[in-house]
Chain A
Amino acid sequence: MTDDRKPMIECRGVHKHYGDYHALRGIDLTIRAGEFFSLLGPSGCGKTTLLRTIAGFEDISDGAILIDEKRMDEVPANKRPTNMVFQSYAIFPHLTVAQNVAFGLRRDPRGKAEKAALVEEALAMVGLRGYGNRAAHALSGGQRQRVALARALILKPKVLLLDEPLSALDRKMREQMQVELIKLQRQVGITFVLVTHDQEEALVMSDRIAVMFEGEIAQLDGPEALYARPATRRVADFIGVMNFLPARILGEQAGTATVEVPGLGVVDLPERQISRANPDDEGPTIGFRPETMTLVGPTQTHSQPRETNATIDEVVYYGDMTYYDLRLDGAAAMDGKARPVRISMRNVFGRDVQEVGTRTRLAWSPGSLVLFR
């Protein structure tokens, strides 16, 4: 898929040092106009620093940042075409909701009535119609966030920056706001850049995601590609759950590889299933997601090309799902260590939860495997 939308944010070799600490190590990144883009990573990976350099709150030590094709080196935060939704929302507690939303319009030459109409429109957009006269400090977390959104969007910025905007909300509220943010972004068409440490949130909301570790971008991809074909073991481990098994490479030609995996046998993998960026240096490893394999009963039939016998070691019941930890037959063949494998099964009507110790069959397809080498 090619994207011909014009670049909105470009980072070229961006470095950031704090004394001896190297927070950003050469970030190269292009975010396109109208994209919902996420910076995802564990705390301390530099994602918030990157967001704050785009906003202009932090100087960069080296490299360049361009917004809408203009270099931002000498442009301070208050002159950049970006606005921010802060993690704490930063709602001014001494002002009303309407005064908060109108804050950025102070230098706007338009008349009072016109501004009031804009405020009302912005409040309506985030579902807070009629809240204008409320005191800001009396709002709930979700309402604060809506005010923060309205306050930033009323200025019609080219880019909206969101710093972990959902982390302070409870689970239900968070899921609701995720959907609302997606709708809002489609409605206004502004480029959104979201910082989050929650992989699920990034997968749900983003067009593209940059996964960051230690000040570097480890992978930049769409959600499906990121989930199905993680570039490194570390990315795979950070996003969702992935099983890892050691593998032995039997032969390689023209990008494809033939590998032997204890417990799974010999498989041929096409190029798209091979990740060559494996800095973890643990030797060739096969990875697969828990939901890509299926437990089948002794008399059940299935349409998968391969099956493996296994014993159930542990059962974890989640209501809608059940997780099974399995010991594959022959799993210890390579180095004497039998690594457990986690499989998830949806608890559909008519399917019983299996018990610990049960012998079972595992049906799978080589298409669900990823080789890290």
Chain B
Amino acid sequence: MKGQGRGLQAYALLYLLFLYAPIILLPLFAFNSGTIIAFPLQGFTTNWFAQMWANATLRTALTNSLTIAVSASILATCLGVFAARASTRFEFPGKGGMMGFILLPMVLPEIIVAMSLLVVLLGAGVQLSILTVILGHVLICMPYAIAILSTAFSSLDKSLEEAAYDLGETKWSAFRLVTLPLVMPGIVSSLLISFTISLDEFIIAFFLAGNQPTLPTYIFSQLRFPKQIPMIMALGTVLVALSILLLALGEYFRRRGNARMGGNPTGGFL
């Protein structure tokens, strides 16, 4: 037993190292004064961060990405609340099929979503912009939002809302006073996850943004120029730090929600 456990533990730790290898390298090169991304490291510098800070295109890309991510996460979460409530609270013919269709983007290769949407938008003469990216991002964020929100809604006792209604509240005020506060942790996680997915999404942004840069498309365009790589490493470091912060926040809210419901804090993001 002990031996088997040790072996598996060593393997699991090695696997974690494999998972984290790129992320560990990121700050190393971000603070490395050498212009070529290779070992041995040269010296310590924060130049790349300064260069990043001064980059105007990057700033535009960041603004675009934040606009897209904020809009997409709010829209996807709103639509997700509708779908999650419909699927956890009501029975109606065709529910399974409709839900399956809404969740389809989760298993559809992104290139196909991007290409088909692009063809239609071009055919309809729609100007490509960050707006068209938002359309696509809402579509791909929605299934994740629904997955998170459905868990939040389904762990809710149906009688709670009925009790509020029975005690004299209206259907809407019962939802506002009881359901909403109880699923709020789920809504916050859904917003955070959708935001993170949208911020990092490349393919749809690449094809649907027209000539507007977003962070991932900007990074992609710069990876061709070796001169720009150290700055991208600095950018990556900031992004990774930000992602971890957002995820930790999301996890914190999820657990707090669980604790409030009297549940035990297990499970993960997916």
Q: Does B bind A?
A: yes
Task: Please give the distance in Å from A285's CB to the nearest CB on chain B.
Answer: 42
Is the CB of A151 closer than 8 A to any CB of chain B?
Answer: yes
Q: Which chain A residues border B182 with CB–CB below 8 Å?
A: 93-94
Is the CB of B13 closer than 8 A to any CB of chain A?
Answer: no
Is the CB of A55 closer than 8 A to any CB of chain B?
Answer: yes
Q: Which chain A residues border B170 with CB–CB below 8 Å?
A: 78
Is the CB of A317 closer than 8 A to any CB of chain B?
Answer: no
- CB-nearest residue of chain B to A107: B168
Complex CA gap A79/B167 in Å reads 9
Q: Which chain A residues border B166 with CB–CB below 8 Å?
A: 55, 57, 77-78, 82-84, 152
B260 and A84 form a contact (CB under 8 A): no
Task: Please give the distance in Å from A316's CB to the nearest CB on chain B.
Answer: 40
A94 and B165 form a contact (CB under 8 A): no
Is the CB of A66 closer than 8 A to any CB of chain B?
Answer: no
B165 and A93 form a contact (CB under 8 A): no
A90 and B262 form a contact (CB under 8 A): no
A86 and B162 form a contact (CB under 8 A): yes
Task: Please give the distance in Å from A266's CB to the nearest CB on chain B.
Answer: 56
Q: Which chain B residues border A323 with CB–CB below 8 Å?
A: none
- 8 A Cβ contacts from A137-167 to B: 137-138, 151-152, 155
Other-chain residue from A77, A93, A106 in contact with B261 (beta carbon distance below 8 A): A93
Task: Please give the distance in Å from B95's CB to the nearest CB on chain A.
Answer: 15
Q: Which chain A residues border B178 with CB–CB below 8 Å?
A: 92
Q: Which chain B residues border A90 with CB–CB below 8 Å?
A: 157, 159-160, 162-163
Complex CA gap A151/B157 in Å reads 17
Other-chain residue from A79, A82, A88, A107 in contact with B157 (beta carbon distance below 8 A): A88
- 8 A Cβ contacts from A70-90 to B: 77-79, 82-84, 86-90
Is the CB of B251 closer than 8 A to any CB of chain A?
Answer: no
Task: Please give the distance in Å from B13's CB to the nearest CB on chain A.
Answer: 37
- 8 A Cβ contacts from B241-269 to A: 260-262
Is the CB of B110 closer than 8 A to any CB of chain A?
Answer: no
Is the CB of A131 closer than 8 A to any CB of chain B?
Answer: no
A83 and B262 form a contact (CB under 8 A): no
Q: Which chain A residues border B168 with CB–CB below 8 Å?
A: 78-79, 104, 106-107, 155
Q: Which chain A residues border B163 with CB–CB below 8 Å?
A: 84, 86, 90, 92, 151
Is the CB of B181 closer than 8 A to any CB of chain A?
Answer: yes
Task: Please give the distance in Å from B181's CB to the nearest CB on chain A.
Answer: 5
Is the CB of A238 closer than 8 A to any CB of chain B?
Answer: no
Is the CB of B164 closer than 8 A to any CB of chain A?
Answer: yes
Q: How large is the interface on B (under 10, 10 to 19, 20 to 34, 35 or more residues)?
A: 10 to 19
A137 and B162 form a contact (CB under 8 A): no
Complex CA gap A55/B260 in Å reads 29
Is the CB of B169 closer than 8 A to any CB of chain A?
Answer: yes
Q: Which chain A residues border B162 with CB–CB below 8 Å?
A: 57, 77, 84, 86, 90
- 8 A Cβ contacts from A7-55 to B: 55
Complex CA gap A89/B158 in Å reads 11
Task: Please give the distance in Å from A111's CB to the nearest CB on chain B.
Answer: 18
Is the CB of A227 closer than 8 A to any CB of chain B?
Answer: no
- CB-nearest residue of chain A to B174: A78
Q: Which chain A residues border B157 with CB–CB below 8 Å?
A: 88, 90
- CB-nearest residue of chain B to A85: B163
Q: Which chain B residues border A84 with CB–CB below 8 Å?
A: 162-163, 166
B159 and A87 form a contact (CB under 8 A): yes
Q: Which chain A residues border B169 with CB–CB below 8 Å?
A: 78, 106
Complex CA gap A83/B177 in Å reads 18
Q: Which chain B residues border A93 with CB–CB below 8 Å?
A: 182, 260-262
B260 and A103 form a contact (CB under 8 A): no
B262 and A103 form a contact (CB under 8 A): no
Task: Please give the distance in Å from B175's CB to the nearest CB on chain A.
Answer: 13
- CB-nearest residue of chain B to A139: B262
Q: CB within 8 Å of A: which residues of B?
A: 157, 159-160, 162-170, 177-178, 181-182, 260-262
A-B contact pairs, 19 of them (CB 8 A): A57-B165, A77-B162, A77-B166, A78-B165, A78-B170, A83-B167, A84-B166, A88-B157, A88-B159, A90-B162, A90-B163, A92-B160, A93-B261, A103-B167, A106-B177, A137-B260, A137-B262, A138-B262, A155-B168
Known: A78-B167, A94-B181, A152-B167. 10 other contacts (CB 8 A): A84-B163, A84-B166, A86-B159, A89-B159, A92-B160, A93-B182, A103-B164, A104-B168, A106-B169, A106-B177
Across chains A and B, which 4 residue pairs bring their CB atoms closest together, nearest first?
A104-B167, A137-B262, A90-B159, A90-B163
